[in-house]
Amino acid sequence: MMNLDRFQFLPRRVVDTGNRWDWALLPLVLSALILLGYGASQMATPYQVGTQLPITLDPIWLPYYLLRTMLRMFIALGFSLVFACVFAALAAKVRAAEKVLIPMLDILQSIPVLGFLSITITGFIALFPGNLLGVECASIFAIFCSQAWNMAFSLYQSFRTVPSELQEASRIFQLSGWHRFWRLEMPYAMPGLLWNMMMSMSGGWFFVVASEAISVSNQNIKLPGIGSYISAAIEARNLGAIGWAILAMLIGILLYDQLFFRPLLAWADKFRFEETGSTGGQSSWLLTWLRRTDRMQNMMLRGFSVIDRTFVYFRKKHDGTSIMSRQRTHNSTAERVWDAVIAALTLFAIYRLSHFILGEVGIAEVGHVFLLGFYTLLRVMILIALAAVVWVPVGVWIGMNPRWADRLQAVAQFLAAFPANLTFPLAVVVIVKFNLHPDIWLSPLIILGTQWYILFNVIAGASNIPTELRYAARNLGLTGWLKWKRYMLPAVFPSFVTGAITASGGSWNASIVSEYVTWGNTTLEAHGLGSYIAHMTAVGDFPRIALGIGVMCVFVMGLNHFVWRRLYRLAEERMHF
């Protein structure tokens, strides 16, 4: 059975009656259930494409819009978690699958989220005809595409860097693959995963406007939510309404920080890999409250038991061990055949894509687009380096000071969640007023929404540094650059690489809206691949859109293979505990 003592939130205690803490918590639980039920019922109402859903800028409707948006984001987060677990387990454990899944994730990460939305919206509407649930599913899928890749990379990195002594212990105890996954790998990855889930939630706010204001069949569908409220406010140029929307976002972030992420982080502190007791950790008033209850603990324990009985059907047993728990010899012939199959499929795909593109646009256009890709590559690499210089020290400081992590957690989430596209009009006004060069001054917009991937991952890595390692560094008197070189940077290096990969992929995606910025009748364009794709999308030139996205995938995959993947191997071999 699953290790319930390890994964349950609360001490094992079975009682028959509740206490005063149960009764005090009951209104909160009932209120949450009622709100969830009401929001879910509103997502499945009858609807016909072409019918306008009313969106009002009256602030009194913002609590309802906030409920609808947060429900979509949490549903997408749940699917993202399942996807990340399956993807990371296959990529980390099956070498043949890794050769396909990692490049596929590179491609998915580089494809614009709006591209997924435009492709899937008609399919979801056809899946639920005459019902709003089809449009809701399309919106949730778009948010999922903004959340899942970051979490998948985080879990993959954690699974590949599990300490060797823990892996050896699992082999000595002859744990099955299923037991090793639940009792070793997931607990070890839990702190980093939770910080990346927070980043994914915050990153989802960037695409809320696009995912709730959908265009299909020459019809504009605006789902009730904060995103559609912001879209309507921008159309009306109502700065007051935008201010109300930002306030509602702040309230929503504070709510899910206090009621969801903070209790989870406080609970996950038990999974830190260390031999001595922790000097401090996250605190949560809600988790403390739950630990004082009787009936609530009993109900949660029963819930975990139901989940355990469900998962037990998927376990692989073989006298206490499994094939996945043993050292296996690689079949070199089979690997070469598999590599040949992958290479053949890749070459066929390149041939078909090249035939289509060259037949439509010509070789000169391809060369021009690759040159634009180098411009964007230069921007991305410079901005990632600058973001690392700023946020790595900040993330290490926050992660190693639990009290400050408690205080700054919600602030960091709000900064990461703040839609960067709301700052674009200000950038246009400043650039035009001072006659600045767009190629230079539009560049920082690329990193505004993606720099937080570095911060959150470094915080996760620093907070997971074993206490005994901190004592050792202190006893050895490490200070200054020597302390950073021998202790801090190696300790957070795997997490930094994960953050840099997702920040890099997100920056390429963000370049589409950051290199081609419009406010009113003013349009600013920087030379780069993102502005090329944005311009061709505006004029509806599909062959050139495909060319731009294909070249972007080539650059992202090349960067990941020749830079980030090598740093991953360095982290796996030398720079982890």
| Per-residue model confidence as pLDDT tens digits over 456-495 | 889 888 887 877 788 888 888 888 888 888 888 888 898 8
| Contact in structure between 417 and 199 (CB atoms under 8 Å) | no
Q: What is the pLDDT of residue 73?
A: 93
Q: How far is CA 253 from CA 261, 282, 298, 331, in A?
A: 10, 18, 29, 50
Residue 260's nearest CA partner among 395, 118, 73 is 73
Q: What is the pLDDT of residue 338?
A: 79
Residue labelled with tokens 């406007």: 209
Taking all residues of the chain, what is their mean pLDDT, rounded to a whole number?
A: 80
519 SS3 class? strand
Percent share of the chain, pLDDT over 70: 86
Q: How confident is the model at residue 379 (pLDDT cuts 50, 70, 90)?
A: very high
Q: How confident is the model at residue 205 (pLDDT cuts 50, 70, 90)?
A: confident
Q: Comparing 59-272+281-326 with 337-577, is the CATH topology the same? A: yes
Domain ranges of the chain: 59-272+281-326, 337-577
Q: Is the pLDDT of residue 162 over 80?
A: yes
Residue 401's nearest CA partner among 459, 355, 455 is 459
Task: Please state, in angstroms and rounded to a whole number, the distance separating the CA atoms of residues 557 and 317.
Answer: 38
**What one-character DSSP code corresponds to residue 11?**
-
Q: What is the pLDDT of residue 69?
A: 94
Q: How confident is the model at residue 323 (pLDDT cuts 50, 70, 90)?
A: very low
Task: Please state, in angstroms and rounded to a whole number, the distance separating the CA atoms of residues 308 and 302.
Answer: 10
What's the rounded mean pLDDT across residues 199-227? 79
5 phi and psi angles, rounded to 5 deg: -60, -30
Q: Is the pLDDT of residue 274 over 70?
A: no
What's the rounded mean pLDDT across residues 497-521? 83
Q: Is the pLDDT of residue 12 over 50?
A: no
Q: How confident is the model at residue 215 (pLDDT cuts 50, 70, 90)?
A: low
**What one-character DSSP code corresponds to residue 520?**
T
Q: How confident is the model at residue 115 (pLDDT cuts 50, 70, 90)?
A: low
Percent share of the chain, pLDDT over 90: 15
What's the rounded mean pLDDT across residues 558-573? 81
Q: Looking at 241-245, 326-330, 521-525, which range is the least confident one?
A: 326-330
Q: What is the pLDDT of residue 550?
A: 83
Give the helix/strand (H/E) hosting 522: strand 522-525
Task: Please state, in angstroms and rounded to a whole number, the distance separating the CA atoms of residues 246 and 418.
Answer: 8
**What one-character DSSP code corresponds to residue 518?**
E
User: What is the distance of C-alpha 157 from the center of its chain?
Assistant: 14
At the top level of CATH, the class of 337-577 is: mainly alpha
Q: How confident is the model at residue 324 (pLDDT cuts 50, 70, 90)?
A: very low
The sign of the dihedral angle between the CA atoms of 319, 321, 324, 328 is negative
Task: Please state, in angstroms and rounded to a whole number, the distance separating the CA atoms of residues 118 and 82.
Answer: 24
| Contact in structure between 234 and 219 (CB atoms under 8 Å) | no
Q: What is the pLDDT of residue 60?
A: 94
Q: What is the pLDDT of residue 46?
A: 87
Neighbours of 506 (CB within 10 A): 26
Q: Is the pLDDT of residue 262 over 90?
A: no
Q: What is the pLDDT of residue 372?
A: 94
For the chain, what's the residue count? 577
Q: What is the pLDDT of residue 217?
A: 56
Joined tokens for residue 547? 């060319």
**Could you name the CATH architecture of 59-272+281-326?**
Orthogonal Bundle (1.10)
Residue labelled with tokens 């959340």: 147
Q: Is the pLDDT of residue 520 over 70?
A: no
What's the rounded mean pLDDT across residues 166-174? 83
- Higher per-residue pLDDT: 159 or 114: 159
Q: Looking at 40-44, 81-85, 359-363, 531-535, which range is the least confident one?
A: 359-363
Q: Is the pLDDT of residue 402 over 80?
A: no
Q: What is the pLDDT of residue 185?
A: 87
Q: What is the pLDDT of residue 304?
A: 64
Q: How confident is the model at residue 380 (pLDDT cuts 50, 70, 90)?
A: very high
The dihedral over CA atoms of 216, 222, 223, 229, expressed in degrees to the nearest 10, equals 150
Q: Is the pLDDT of residue 383 over 90?
A: yes
Q: What is the pLDDT of residue 44?
A: 85
Q: Looking at 255-269, 364-378, 417-431, which range is the least confident one?
A: 417-431
Residue 299's nearest CA partner among 289, 290, 288 is 290
Q: What is the pLDDT of residue 466?
A: 78
What's the rounded mean pLDDT across residues 18-37? 82
Task: Please state, in angstroms and rounded to a whole number, the distance separating the CA atoms of residues 191 and 405.
Answer: 13
Neighbours of 40 (CB within 10 A): 13
Q: How confident is the model at residue 267 (pLDDT cuts 50, 70, 90)?
A: confident
Alpha helices (runs of H) in 128-238, residue ranges in sequence order: 133-160, 164-172, 177-180, 186-206, 208-212, 226-235
Q: What is the pLDDT of residue 374?
A: 95
* Amino acid letter for position 422: L
How buried is 226 (Cβ within 10 angstroms: 0-12 exposed, 13-18 middle, 19+ buried)? Answer: buried
319 SS3 class? coil
Q: What is the pLDDT of residue 318?
A: 39
Most confident of the following: 104-118, 348-362, 477-491: 477-491
Q: What is the pLDDT of residue 305?
A: 66
Q: What is the pLDDT of residue 48?
A: 82
Q: What is the pLDDT of residue 295?
A: 77
